[in-house]
Amino acid sequence: MIMDRLSDAHGLVELLGDWTTAGGPLYRKLAGAVAKCIEVGDLPAGERLPSERDLAKLLTVSRATVVAAYDDLRGKGLVDSVRGSGTRVSARPRVNGSHGRVPGGRATSIFQRLADGPGPIISLAMAIEPAAPELAEVYRDLADSGELGELMSDVGYHPRGYPPLRTAVAAHYTAVGLPTDPDEVLITTGAQQVIGLVAQMYLRPGSTVVVESPSWPGCLDVFRAAGARLVGVPLDEEGVRADRLAAVFAEERPVLAYLMPTFHNPTGRMMSTARRRRVAELAARYNVPVLEDNAYSGFHSRTGAAPPPIGAFARGNAEILSVGSVAKSAWGGLRIGWVRGPSAIVTRLARYKVRADLGSPVLDQALTAHLLPRIEEITAARAATMRARLDHTRTLLGEQLPQWRWQTPDGGSALWVELPDTSAQIFAQVALRHGVEAVPGSATDPTGAHDNHIRVPFTFPIEVITELVRRLATAWADLQRHGPVTDTPPVV
């Protein structure tokens, strides 16, 4: 599998991530980053490295830099080069390696930043914020209530979810137009776990999954890991294109469609009510289960409530699973999400859930049960800050990067920006050297399209946004002026 990924240089570039931050000359930084991939087992023994020319092109460095980096690795016994068959990771590299273990396990760059820690750069990999201040109030209220004593007097294992939270989630859906019984709710460890459980239950190697194009790399990763074949459907102003969705449902016989109707990530688009109704009709007509991920709810840049979930328009036996989470609206650290769907499906999903972790942390669930009735109020309180950040980002981008294009999002926390006539993979490498980690749009697309886009979150404090746009503008000017950076060949 990993051999396939690395058959082109893109795979290695993704593995390298933010390789430029260490000290010393560029070739040493590169050699150090490749050595780290070998050490953690991302590059197993025998793995063929890309040609010097290909890697240099994608990293926007001179070929001499890659030649010197490979020489350095060869000198350390980490790689071998055989004339005619390129450079490979040594059979027995002189580092711990991962012998006997399954190679790989690296996540999309979005998750990798979380796993590796923040680093000195401004990372655009995640659009996340600290906890809403109301969370501390809810925490105190819970501690002062008698509920904790009662909660701790039971065994604490609730694989389907802490009952008061299931009731609160059911009430939440009922209030937004999707009447729900607690039996139709499974509590999970974040929305991310729902995607994993659904993938386990629905997907087999070769299964076809429909996703929006672009989509969210975090779900693409999970579906790919399950061996799925991904088919992308584009969006228009109202959300996923219904004509294309109908054609794909009819022709591809997908086992699942994964959609983000509310503040689609990364475009921030809100699917219209009419389109939601149409998607529900198509799901019923073609018998395709739909996983609607509304985890990315939150800041709404227009007035008025979001339309009801797609599940509210389900007819007959249509399997519409609605996913939610408090990560974006209250705090990612709570790690509480849920799925709402027909009770028979939820019961089956609960079996996967119990096998995965025996249930999500019950104290966090109790907190969420108290938080959920206040979620509208919390979102509204955040809206003013988010609006100011969005306005600031738009103004600065307009002033300093007038060639960049974007549409004001309906909501969410990022701008989906088009870089005219430029590969975002190339721009991302230049941006790294200016202190910004940008995720190329190709990571969001099942076919690698959208490579001329990046997602620019506006979740940062105002002064960080100012610095971020300054760095982006400097990197852009650098790329326009000089093209890909070519450093002076190092003396080796």
Ligand X SMILES: Cc1ncc(COP(=O)(O)O)c(C=O)c1O
Span interacting with ligand X, options 16-24, 96-104, 290-298, 369-377, rule CB under 6 A: 290-298
Beta carbon of residue 211, minimum distance to ligand X (angstroms, whole number): 11
Span interacting with ligand X, options 135-143, 187-195, 249-257, 343-351, rule CB under 6 A: 187-195
Say which residue the tokens 């994964």 belong to.
Answer: 258
Beta carbon of residue 216, minimum distance to ligand X (angstroms, whole number): 4
- Among candidates 322, 259, 321, 248, which has minimal Cα distance to 285? 248
3-state secondary structure of 253: coil
Q: Which of 90, 123, 325, 365 binds ligand X (CB under 6 A)?
A: 325
425 makes contact with ligand X (CB under 6 A): no
Residue with nearest beta carbon to ligand X: 190
CA–CA dist 311, 291 (Å, integer) = 9
Nearest to ligand X of 70, 216 (CB atom): 216
Q: Kindly report the CA angle at 396 between 394 and 397, in degrees rounded to 5? A: 65
Cis peptide before 309 (omega within 30 of 0): no
Which 236-265 positions form the footprint of ligand X (CB under 6 A)?
A: 260, 265
Which 87-116 positions form the footprint of ligand X (CB under 6 A)?
A: none
3-state secondary structure of 377: helix
Beta carbon of residue 445, minimum distance to ligand X (angstroms, whole number): 15
* Tokens describing residue 70: 């490979």
Cβ-based neighbours of 382, under 8 Å, separated by 6 or more: 129, 132, 298, 299, 329
Cβ-based neighbours of 26, under 8 Å, separated by 6 or more: 20, 61, 65, 487, 490
- Among candidates 410, 404, 400, which has minimal Cα distance to 424? 404
Span interacting with ligand X, options 144-152, 278-286, 288-296, 383-391, rule CB under 6 A: 288-296
Partners of residue 123 on adjacent β-strands: 437
192 makes contact with ligand X (CB under 6 A): yes
Nearest to ligand X of 322, 325 (CB atom): 325
| Residue 122: Cβ-neighbour burial (10 angstroms; 0-12, 13-18, 19+) | buried
Span interacting with ligand X, options 14-22, 292-300, 440-448, 454-462, rule CB under 6 A: 292-300
DSSP 374: G
Whether 419 and 382 have beta carbons less than 8 Å apart is answered as: no
CA–CA dist 193, 349 (Å, integer) = 11
Which 326-345 positions form the footprint of ligand X (CB under 6 A)?
A: 327, 332, 337
* Tokens describing residue 283: 């799901």
Q: Which of 283, 295, 310, 468 binds ligand X (CB under 6 A)?
A: 295
Nearest to ligand X of 293, 451 (CB atom): 293
Beta carbon of residue 153, minimum distance to ligand X (angstroms, whole number): 29
191 makes contact with ligand X (CB under 6 A): yes
Nearest to ligand X of 334, 465 (CB atom): 334
CA–CA dist 51, 67 (Å, integer) = 9
CA–CA dist 413, 300 (Å, integer) = 9
CA–CA dist 362, 369 (Å, integer) = 10
Span interacting with ligand X, options 277-285, 325-333, 438-446, 481-489, rule CB under 6 A: 325-333
457 makes contact with ligand X (CB under 6 A): no
Nearest to ligand X of 42, 293 (CB atom): 293
Beta carbon of residue 332, minimum distance to ligand X (angstroms, whole number): 5
Q: Which of 19, 162, 216, 258 binds ligand X (CB under 6 A)?
A: 216
218 makes contact with ligand X (CB under 6 A): yes
Contact positions toward ligand X, by CB under 6 A? 190-192, 216, 218, 260, 265, 293, 295-296, 325, 327, 332, 337
